[in-house]
Amino acid sequence: MPRTTSFKGMPLELAGPELKVGDPAPDFDAVDKSLQPISLESTSGVRVFSVVPSLDTPVCDMQTKKFNDEAGKLPNIGFYTISVDLPFAQNRWCNSFGVDNVKMISDHKFASFGENYGTLIKDWRVESRAIFVIDKDNKIQHVEYVPEVAEHPDYDTALAKAKELAG
């Protein structure tokens, strides 16, 4: 049976596995907002991967701004927003809102983050909403696949786990 998420009650099929706490964090091939390659191996330390469908939607906008604010208070934790938005759109959005503490990852070219982390909505070729907290040893320590794309994730639980891991 395929894994699904929903958008306003409409089921949408997800590609990739359902990762769990304790699983090794999969590698991925993507680009940052400057078109430079980025992968799991090019990141380090405690990381929060905040996955959103598109920055130009209200919940994604709020989610990214929330983590940007937290990243400003927690410089020992790496915060990343992953979407299939083009790097140019990510850059424009960040500049429009003064978002500079969260690093942007565009999964547009290969969709390998979505396929490897189980967040790619196949028919729409966008990411489903999710949060992953990865430790310094590249193990998943928190995962939340938000069942309804239009709803917010549990920010507090993800942030508490990241803070605990970072000491």
Residues 6+ apart with CB under 8 A from 10: none
- Could you tell me how many residues make up the chain? 167
42-43-49 Cα angle (round to 5)? 130
DSSP assignment of 36-87, as one string? Answer: -EE-GGG--SEEEEEE-S-TTSHHHHHHHHHHHHHHHH-TTEEEEEEESS-H
Task: Give the position of tokens 């980025």.
Answer: 38
Site of tokens 């992968």: 39
CA torsion sign for 117, 71, 102, 42 is negative
Residue 11 CB partners (closer than 8 Å, separation 6+): 4, 5
| Residues with a known catalytic role | 60
